[in-house]
Amino acid sequence: MDRTRVTGRHYGLLGLVAAAAVVVAVGLGVPIGAIFILAVALFGPLMMFVMLHALRGPQAHRHPVVEAIDSTGGRARRPSSGARPPTP
């Protein structure tokens, strides 16, 4: 299955919108230095967001603790080694 279909991310479109926003801001007279500082400040959290979602993968919801909570309906915690369960 295609990775972009699994994650459902539309980063290309978001990049295009961000570029258009920069062009409009420069057109309205916002200094380029201020736009650069804002871009640097937003790059760190954006990079963490993208990398954490990429590392989790499509099977991230199948953690043993989550399965224990889902199957009992309560908050009982099953011991876990922290490792991902094997994918079927």
Model confidence pTM above 0.75: no
Total Cβ atoms within 10 A of residue 54: 11
- Which pLDDT belongs to residue 30? 92
63 CB contacts (<8 Å, ≥6 apart)? Answer: 80, 84, 85
DSSP letter at 56 equals H
Q: How many alpha carbons fall within 13 Å on the CB side of residue 20?
A: 6
Contacts of 30 (CB under 8 A, 6+ apart): none
pLDDT digits (tens, 9 = 90+) for 59-71: 655 555 555 555 5
Q: Residue 84 in 3-state DSSP?
A: coil
Residue pLDDT, tens place only, 22-38: 999 999 999 999 999 99
Task: Give residue 7's pLDDT.
Answer: 54
Q: How many CB atoms neighbour CB 67 within 10 A?
A: 14
Domain chopping of the chain, boundaries: 32-82
